[in-house]
Chain A
Amino acid sequence: MDTLTHILNGFSVCLQPINLWYTFLGCFLGTIIGVLPGIGPSAGIALLIPVTYGMNPTSALIMMSGIFYGARYGGSTTAILINTPGEASSVMTTLDGYQMAKKGRAGAALAISAVASFIAGTLGVVGLTLFAVPLSSMALKFGPAEYFTLMFFAMTAVSSLAGKSPAKAMISTILGLMIATIGIDLQSGQPRYTMGVPELQDGVGFVIAVVGLFAIAEVFITMEDMTKGVRSEIIRLKGRLWFTKDEWNRSLMPMFRGGIVGFVIGVLPGAGGTIASIMSYIWEKRLSKHPEEFGKGAIEGVAGPEAANNSDNAGAMVPLLTLGIPGGGATAVMLGAFIMYGIQPGPLLFQNRPDLVWGLIDSMYIGNIMLLILNLPLIGIFVRLLYIPSGILMPLILAISTIGIYAINGNPVELYFGLIFGVIGYVFRKIDIPLAPMVLSLVLGGIMEQSFRQAMTISGGNPKIFVGSVITVTLVALSILSVLLPFLLPRLKAWRDGSRDTT
């Protein structure tokens, strides 16, 4: 009963005019960030942190999560109209969305992706509302050892799922942890790896790292593509922005299936929106009576993945809010934002600040409604953004990144750090080292080391504490399993195919 009052109270928080305004602003900016290729939600949220510093944390967080889920709506528009994902997870939408647009069904593709996003996004928030309380009360029993193994699991899962090569992802994760150890050690007061640079004493600011790795590096990649002369044609939006009855019937089940897949994958650490939409696409293709249409403009191939990547978003908020542990790159940036406002998400937050938690969760219901309006009748306004020449847009993003970094401390030395991270991000993209694991471990590194040392202090230096309870044993087992999975899966498949051949 208590929870129900908190949920209803949350609505009274998020329905305050000021918070409604920030929900709108977040959704609006999120749609822009989603539509524009070259800047994603991680960089967008990181750039906003310094600007929103003095704001009331509830409003600031409502706005940031608006960007987080709003970008998923916007990303599909770019995917459908110019065959480029506006945001990483809309990559599957390009396959059939762009083909539909070529056939003159751009309006239907945009409409179905907005409606699928809305239905699945709202379903996802319902799931978040239902799962939040039981999970957070379970997490209350967590000690440092449990937290350490949980973070360990999150990192191994991200490493094994993030890219083509698990070894490279693992290198990326550990490099992030190493960068996180730079600065004064909080427990002993000793400076570590600062190389005598005073700016490094407080450690490497994660905003700087995220802006560099995501915004600046992405601009570099786009600039390089421009020099190569890679250009795709923008398909003009004409005709009615709606779908036929037949198209609706074909999309209905994919939306619900995609919504469920997306939410489950979102809750689990590691996978994230891109994998959610790929799985939904594969599933729909397998279930379809006419799989040959996929890749040539099947509306199911738009509805399913779009639903999946939106409910994934709500699912990803579950571990972030209830446990305080993000399962991927973008939620890691969200955690960084929480910490900047002096708020530690996790089970205690549900007890101490129910107004903030439920205000935030409830704002997502409203945000999804706003996004449906922004992305259906008003989508024409956002489509115009695609006509801004990249030659103007990319330099502007570099200038905005500069302001974002400078605004944190007003220290010009940090600008160079940002540029270095930009170059690192660019090189890593070129050599296929995934960046999301690095950001996750950069944000979690400090907390992870702290819980490691606390656990070891409790046990008097005995590492057995990490296999000392049912929870830790389960998490350690899951971590080992997730490390082995990429190595075992191909073998298992070969073995299964082999046995099928012999029979």
Chain B
Amino acid sequence: MMTDRVIFVCTIIAAVVYLYATTLIPSLEIGDPLGPKAFPRLLGIAVLIAAGLLFLEMWKERKQRAPQGSANEADAWRHLWIIVGVTVWTGIYYVAFERLGYILATTVYLLALMAWFNRGKWVANILTAALFGVLSFVMFVKLDVNLPRGLAAFSWISDGVLVVVNAVTNVIKSIRTSF
């Protein structure tokens, strides 16, 4: 099978790179008879053995239904572009994450994904994206998880949300104490 061959080659490459990187680890072998290299070296050898086992498995399956597999395999990768798109978009989201601030970046990120995957339902999508951005921000700030507020140009969004939340909690508190 094609994918198995690719896995086989990649595993060998990974093993060689790993074993080479192992030789670069500086080691002063004092007190510790093995040092930092021994265990990785064993792993490098073990992964080569595993690749050998994979080769044996491929050898055994070679005779079984070779032609049918390839058609299915081509089909399996047909929709790859959508995953590449989502991955790139998520990467852009991470670049913008600290600059735009959590709320703005997340809302825009979600909105685009929902516009694609949940097409046509604009009201629901905009409401969910914006509400999720704001509510999750507030929830995590209350849980002491600090999410980024963004550069000065955008931080007013997060600050504004927090001012509102604090005002509301203060009102609730004062109502409670007055009763």
Contacts and interface: CB of A to CB of B under 8 A. Distances in A.
A498 interface: no
Given A165-B57, A399-B106, A457-B32, A412 B97 contact: yes
A73 B60 CA distance: 40
Nearest to A405: B94
Interface in A428-471: 430-433, 449, 452-453, 456-457, 460-461
Contact of A192 (B25, B51, B109, B117): B25
A394 B117 contact: yes
A180 B121 CA distance: 44
Interface residues of B, number: 64
B98 interface: yes
Interface of A (DSSP majority class): helix
Nearest to A172: B50
A389 B115 CA distance: 12
Contact of A188 (B7, B32, B109, B113): B32
A168 B7 contact: yes
Nearest to A433: B7
B145 interface: yes
Nearest to A456: B34
B90 interface: yes
* In the A-B complex, the 5 residue pairs with the closest CB atoms: A391-B118, A391-B117, A395-B113, A167-B53, A167-B54
Nearest to A226: B117
Interface string A406-430: 1100101001100100110010001
Contacts of B124: 392
Interface string B64-85: 0000000000001101001100
Nearest to A406: B147
A190 B21 CA distance: 13
A220 interface: yes
A167 B57 contact: yes
Interface in B1-48: 3, 6-7, 11, 14, 18, 21, 25-28, 32-36, 38-40, 43, 46-47
Interface in A199-231: 220, 223-224, 226-228
B143 interface: yes
Contact of A399 (B28, B40, B57, B136): B136
A406 B101 CA distance: 13
11 contacts: A50-B145, A54-B144, A167-B57, A171-B7, A185-B36, A224-B79, A392-B124, A431-B6, A432-B3, A433-B7, A456-B38
Interface in A126-184: 165-168, 170-171, 174-175, 177-178, 181
Interface in A448-503: 449, 452-453, 456-457, 460-461
B36 A190 contact: yes
B50 A174 contact: yes
B82 A223 contact: yes
Nearest to A193: B21
Nearest to A431: B3
A304 B145 CA distance: 43
